[in-house]
Amino acid sequence: MTEQSSTEHLIEEMFDEAEFVRAGDLVTGEGRLDGYTVSIIGTADRAYIGADVALAMARCVLDIMHDKPARPILIIVDNSGHRLGRWDELMGNNGCIAHLTKCLYAARQRGHRVIGLVNELAVSAGFMALGMSTDACYALPAAEVRVMALGAMARVTKIPLDRLTELCATSPVLGPSVENFMRVGALAGVWSGDLAGHLRAELSKLTKPNDDRRQLGHERGGRMAALDVARRVRAGAEA
Amino acid sequence: MIPPRHSYLEASARSRLAGILDAGTFREYCGPKARQTSPHLPGLGMPVAFDDGIVVGEGRIDSRQVLIAAQEGGFMGGAIGEVHGAKLAGLIERALDIRPAAVVLLLDSGGVRLQEANAGLIAMGEIQRAIFDARTAGIALIAAIGGRNGCYGGTSIVARSCDVIVASEEGRLSISGPEVIEEVDGIEEFDARDRALVWRTMGAKHRRLIGEIDTLVRDDMTAFRDAIANHIGDSRSMDLDALEAEHARLADRLLRFRDVGDARDVWARLGVNDPDRVSDIETNEFNALVDTLEGEGR
């Protein structure tokens, strides 16, 4: 028997009872906690989101919409971003990822509560498609969220790595880390300790929250311009 | 007399707006006089732009009211940072308030602006959500691609979240840039300097042939304008049936081409008799070819 991934371990730890299957990088199933039954869609081992993975996840979301109306969905996020390669580009992976996000959006519109939890890693398009498309996304304390690893970022931006590391300490918009993604409002919070308790609290929220990420980013001091700029443009202001 | 051809590719964001909209109808929101520059670039010793590389506002196309955005590819490759992203998201959110005939996005972007990466990434998600909100309200989202930077990274996901994509054959639409694929996969897998390879993998003709793009036009301002005007009102449903139809189309593509390594093999399997010629043929001939093929196309 192969060793269990941290995603599978996390599911077992969080729920009273859970049934799930792993197929490739995909982990799907359902868990029960107190009176709640939750559909689970996750990836394991820092998966790369290829066109096939994106479609397999979309299929799960569609099936849940058909078969389990209004049931909450927990997305366990663990990915290294989109898969790089000629075949995925030929197939239009951007379209497949957009389709996955569209399915998650539709699920929320149809009354499914969609909760994200970053387990180990979430990178760039993998966070955009799976973290940003939730009602609220949380992270484990040891998780990492990033657009690009610092070394690669230093090469592309031509900012020396030392300097970049220094800048990241003071600028929440620049570098990787759960703390920075908290400050810009992309993560609602960190789940540590009693995971079942955190999930129960989230499930017990009655109202479907609006997307408050921009507000959160402003309150937390990580994204000070976006709220005002978007508001002025929305109002049609010339200045 | 045939008027001189006005290249969309070579035009700036502002001249694209002038070329697409009815003359004198553009009103800009939060324009250069507002001096809303990036708060992050000065700390990195980098220059700013008074519009942060995007022009947003309202205007008319064939007298119909539209909201419109144009990314300036000449500033940081059209990449999306905090202010740029907030302008785009705010514009699309405004559609819910004023209900225009369409929202038109003239995209020319490499994706997230790395110098303010986290703010850019979260903006991508907010833009995408705003698009879905507007579409759910029945407002058509039209993306146009034909600039120097193509449409890459998160912006490529934004484009495919719209109802309709119009592109010129110079347009490129893909998630990863060629250099990034080469760096990760090696030059044998992808040679970023092989322009023909880049073009046939990511270029608009391939995207049109597999049904990722709705209309292919020549690199001409009037051609873009006419194609966009023709798509105003072309809303696509996002209900469960529509999502299932889209899913079936994408799943069929992946199955049909799962063993394919080159776009020419995809085209041959789609029924193109002479795949090697696809790169060379003119837009009209190409569009006639697309019409003769069956199956694909949304």
Q: pLDDT digits over B140-180, tens only?
A: 999 999 999 999 999 999 999 999 999 999 999 999 999 98
* Cβ <8 Å between A223 and B119: yes
> Which of B122, B126, B255 is the best residue to mutate to test the A interface, defined by the most A CB atoms within 10 Å of its own CB?
B122
**Cβ contact B176:A84 at 8 Å:** yes
pLDDT for residue A197:
97
> Which of B113, B114, B121, B182 is the best residue to mutate to test the A interface, defined by the most A CB atoms within 10 Å of its own CB?
B121
pLDDT for residue B298:
41
Residues B208 and B78 in one domain: yes
Residues B248 and B205 in one domain: no
**Which CATH number belongs to the domain containing residue B148 in this structure?**
3.90.226.10
Residue corresponding to tokens 């970023």: B192
Is some CB atom of chain B closer than 8 A to the CB atom of A236? yes
**Which pTM does this prediction carry?**
0.97
Average pLDDT, chain A: 95
How many Å apart are CA A25 and CA A45, to the nearest integer?
7
Residues B172 and B273 in one domain: no
Position B165 in a domain: yes
Alpha-carbon distance A17 to nearest alpha carbon in chain B (angstroms): 30
pLDDT for residue B26:
98
What A197-200 contacts at long range (C-beta under 8 Å, 24+ apart), as own/partner pairs, is A198/A138, A199/A14, A199/A33, A199/A38, A199/A74, A199/A115, A200/A33, A200/A34, A200/A36
Q: For chain B, what is the domain count?
A: 2
Residues B88 and B150 in one domain: yes
* Cβ <8 Å between B86 and A131: no
Alpha-carbon distance A124 to nearest alpha carbon in chain B (angstroms): 7
Residue A173: band (very low, low, confident or very high) from pLDDT cuts 50, 70, 90: very high
How many Å apart are CA B264 and CA B277, to the nearest integer?
10
Residue B254: closest C-alpha in chain A: A91
pLDDT for residue B294:
62
How many Å apart are CA B264 and CA B272, to the nearest integer?
9
CA angle B205, B206, B211 (to 5 degrees): 95
- In the sheet that A189-190 helps form, which strands lie side by side, from edge to edge? A17-23, A26-33, A36-43, A73-77, A114-118, A136-139, A189-190
Cβ contacts of A105 on chain B, cutoff 8 Å: 129, 132, 238
Is some CB atom of chain B closer than 8 A to the CB atom of A52? yes
Cβ contacts of B83 on chain A, cutoff 8 Å: 225-226, 229
Residues B167 and B258 in one domain: no
| Domain end point (choices B236, B251, B283) | B236
CA angle B69, B71, B77 (to 5 degrees): 165
3-class DSSP assignment, residue B169: coil
**Cβ contact B68:B106 at 8 Å:** yes
Residues B202 and B64 in one domain: yes
- What is the sign, positive or negative, of the torsion defined by CA atoms of A113, A83, A54, B162? positive
* Cβ <8 Å between B114 and A238: no
DSSP B109: B
The minimal CB distance from B154 to the residues A105, A125, A222 is found for A125
Q: Are strands A79-82 and A121-123 parallel, antiparallel or unpaired?
A: unpaired
pLDDT for residue B1:
54
Compute the average pLDDT of residues B211-233.
97
Residues B92 and B214 in one domain: yes
Residues B137 and B270 in one domain: no
Residues B226 and B241 in one domain: no
B/e letters for B87-111, b = 16+ CB within 10 Å, e = fewer, are: bbbbbbbbbeeeebbbbbbbbbbbb
Chains A & B: contacts with CB separation below 8 Å: 252
**B279: amino acid identity, one letter:** S
Residues B118 and B243 in one domain: no
Distances (CA, A) of A13 to A10, B35, B282: 5, 51, 60
* Cβ <8 Å between B250 and A55: yes
pLDDT for residue B141:
98
| Domain end point (choices B214, B236, B258) | B236
Position B3 in a domain: no
* Cβ <8 Å between B86 and A229: yes
Q: Which domains does chain A have, with CATH numbers?
A: 6-140+191-208 (3.90.226.10)
Position B80 in a domain: yes
Statement: residue A209 has pLDDT above 90: no
Residue B10, token pair as written in the block: 């070579």
Position B221 in a domain: yes
Position B81 in a domain: yes
Which structural domain, as residue segments, surrounds residue B166? Answer: 13-236
Position B6 in a domain: no
**Cβ contact A140:B136 at 8 Å:** no
* Cβ <8 Å between A173 and B43: no
Residues B288 and B150 in one domain: no
Residues B51 and B93 in one domain: yes
| Domain end point (choices B196, B217, B236) | B236
Position B5 in a domain: no
Length of chain A: 239
The backbone torsions φ and ψ at residue A37, rounded to the nearest 5 degrees and listed phi first, read -115, 130
Statement: residue B296 has pLDDT above 80: no
Q: Please determine, for the modelled complex, whether the ipTM score is greater than 0.85.
A: yes
Distances (CA, A) of B1 to B8, B219, B223, B283: 21, 19, 17, 22
Position B4 in a domain: no
Residue corresponding to tokens 């996955």: A100
**Cβ contact B123:A211 at 8 Å:** no
Compute the average pLDDT of residues B31-57.
96
Cβ-based neighbours of A145, under 8 Å, separated by 6 or more:
A118, A121, A122, A123, A127, A131, A139, A176, A177, A178, A180, A181, A186, A187
Chain A stretch 136-155, residues whose beta carbon is closer than 8 A to a beta carbon of chain B: 146-148, 153
Q: Which helix (H) or strand (E) element contains residue A93?
A: helix A93-109
Share of chain A above pLDDT 90, in %: 89
